[in-house]
Structure 1
């Protein structure tokens, strides 16, 4: 394919040069084949484990490539970045390692684990704004005020070229590669990877995945230019970008074959699948690519497919909620609201029925005053662990057969 002529974008040569520049400082992350995920998706799945990088994310590739291009004068003045976490850690780690001052502006809701890690890597952290856009405005102000260099998390050719080195590794690790599935936020990761792969192997399909809460690149492709969409919250905070990059958009438009979206429950289920079955910890953004395949959202059929697990920096309290949500999505944690006669032995009869179907009760809540309960009756909310949807269906059928009025709460 023809290389782009836009001097603000990148070419294959830029990615190849970036690789030589980063070779001694960036971990060559593994890309193992997953027999279990292959069986579930009907494809040959290979997981590119960028969550194993020093800072827990692919972001340090682009950050380091940009830092390595600083002039001595720029390096002496220091760098500034705005980030919800992963880019922040990449800039902090590699700037500090080279004796360069780094100021990172992070949104106020940034998970504590990412704030702490960024500080531990040596950066000065400023918490400002409700979202990335507000943090970025503050970072730009500081940059101008102190005459520092701003390192954008995605909309920078050097950053994009650094991320593109993943594409070169994939071609080496999977000789029979037919497709790559990549999460999309602002487009720096997929733009770099797509450029590297398509210029060398144009037949390889490049599939992007966004959260349905913030489909900024989908909207940009539809309208043929970047647009700013309304803010929203998502567990995939690493790709919570309201506007596609002006530099990255042409690359995505030129090289990416398909973009799909996944919802919050699908992402949660993917995180749980990676943790439970693959023993791999992924943050929300890091699990979106796999979520698209598990939910059969793409047009891929039976292909040798690389899936980017692009980050693993997740707050443990959020992880606990995601695990619970994933269990609900998989049908392994349910809450039922069941009507009972308010008489001795009624609860015992109910729990005996539940036990006979091997469901495990983890919480109960009685209520006589709400939900339109008749006098002489009561309602109980029961949260149970099950083996999955098939067992749930059997239990619901048994409750109906025994005359229990019931409804699914979650």
Structure 2
């Protein structure tokens, strides 16, 4: 599949890094002694939890807003920006927009936890709750764009968003050039697609493994079907991986199809165990979506012996209520 299909080239990835430098943290890549012993491998944790917003989404949002200003001038965003999000992208857009003095309206479904809503509002953005799915929230976004002249900052399906997330892949290749495999949560595909595009361009033999929820895995079901399909969303500990990919998907479907080598789905119990494991053994408070790499290795008995493996610890937007649910599933 040609790179022109999705527009995420190595040159665009480096341009993205130049735009976000100084506004986004170069997140640490730290070895996990406990996991390395357990799996007889070199296990590295890419801590996107260290971003100012607590998640990787700040990379893509910052890159896109900066690129729009670069190309069209700041006045192009005078009427504000908008998006629909399961939480982390909304927080990232609100954060980036506030820095630039741009109004932001974030549309969220009723499935989004209240702690994520409060965080977005604290950044000065307007939050609108619409429908019971991300797709329904996007209907309000479309109205704001069409009727009020706002600018859409999509959560994943745009080359600028994917390139921003893909700067993680550039950092991984610089900090661990010997890397054999990376485990990435898979939802809309901007994160996995961007990381995969960067790593495959530099080290084609790197294995890119996607991990989805056991229910509502829109991208995986779409890849199986050969085209974007709609799936029913379900409440999950890994709520950040919920949502559809859009039936008119123009970037991330093709990108993931090109760069992902294999894929696993994980159960709620496996996510819960991984969340508790990360807290107890790594002293990291992470959301379910950030723990799915570990969940996949444990639940599916993936053999990574002798390999250098990176787990993308994508965000820390977890409420105490959700953590309690995870602990209850685990039995402690």
Q: CA RMSD in A?
A: 1.5
1:285-364 to structure 2, matched below 5 A, reads: 285-298=289-302, 300-326=304-330, 328=331, 333=332
**1:264 CA drift (Å):** 0.3
2:15 is aligned, of 5, 17, 29, to 17
**1:143 CA drift (Å):** 1.7
Q: What residue is the counterpart of 1:4 in the other structure?
A: 3
Structure 2 gap ranges (5+): none
1:34 is aligned, of 21, 32, 43, to 32
> 2:16–2:63: 8 Å Cα contact kept in structure 1?
yes
**How many residues are matched?**
326
Is the partner of 1:213 in helix, strand or coil? Answer: coil
**1:109 CA drift (Å):** 2.9
1:264 is aligned, of 245, 249, 268, to 268
Structure that is richer in helix per residue? 2
1:104 is aligned, of 103, 106, 109, to 106
Q: What residue is the counterpart of 1:242 in the other structure?
A: 244
1:219 is aligned, of 214, 218, 221, to 221
1:156 is aligned, of 127, 152, 158, to 158
Is the partner of 1:308 in helix, strand or coil? Answer: strand
**1:43 CA drift (Å):** 2.2
Q: What residue is the counterpart of 2:140 in the other structure?
A: 138
| Rounded Cα–Cα distance in structure 2 between residues aligned with 1:239 and 1:268 | 15
Is the partner of 2:61 in helix, strand or coil? Answer: helix
| Rounded Cα–Cα distance in structure 2 between residues aligned with 1:33 and 1:239 | 25
| Residue 254 of structure 1 pairs with residue 254 of structure 2 | no
| Rounded Cα–Cα distance in structure 2 between residues aligned with 1:325 and 1:276 | 15
Q: What residue is the counterpart of 2:283 in the other structure?
A: 279
Deviations 1:87-131 (A, max 9, x none): 000000010110001011111232111111101111111122112
- Specify whether residues 218 and 156 from structure 1 end up closer, same or farther in structure 2 by C-alpha distance, changes over 3 A only: same
| Rounded Cα–Cα distance in structure 1 between residues aligned with 2:54 and 2:295 | 20
Deviations 1:178-206 (A, max 9, x none): 11110001100000000000011001111
| Rounded Cα–Cα distance in structure 2 between residues aligned with 1:161 and 1:170 | 14
Deviates more, 1:295-304 or 1:236-245: 295-304
Is the partner of 1:210 in helix, strand or coil? Answer: strand
Could you state the TM-score of these two structures normalised by the residue count of structure 1?
A: 0.77
> 2:275–2:287: 8 Å Cα contact kept in structure 1?
yes
| Residue 66 of structure 1 pairs with residue 64 of structure 2 | yes
Could you state the TM-score of these two structures normalised by the residue count of structure 2?
A: 0.94
Deviations 1:128-159 (A, max 9, x none): 21121111111111121111101110001100
Greater Rg by CA: 1
**1:315 CA drift (Å):** 1.4
> 2:158–2:250: 8 Å Cα contact kept in structure 1?
no
Structure 1 gap ranges (5+): 334-410
| Rounded Cα–Cα distance in structure 2 between residues aligned with 1:42 and 1:215 | 30
| Rounded Cα–Cα distance in structure 2 between residues aligned with 1:226 and 1:131 | 16
2:45 is aligned, of 32, 36, 47, to 47
> 1:106–1:132: 8 Å Cα contact kept in structure 2?
yes
2:183 is aligned, of 170, 181, 184, to 181
| Rounded Cα–Cα distance in structure 1 between residues aligned with 2:34 and 2:231 | 37
Q: What residue is the counterpart of 2:125 in the other structure?
A: 123
Instruction: Considering Cα pairs closer than 8 Å and 6+ residues apart, tell me whether 1 or 2 has the greater RCO.
Output: 2
| Residue 201 of structure 1 pairs with residue 203 of structure 2 | yes
Is the partner of 1:77 in helix, strand or coil? Answer: coil
Structure that is richer in strand per residue? 1
> 2:289–2:314: 8 Å Cα contact kept in structure 1?
yes
| Rounded Cα–Cα distance in structure 2 between residues aligned with 1:182 and 1:146 | 36
| Rounded Cα–Cα distance in structure 1 between residues aligned with 2:183 and 2:140 | 33
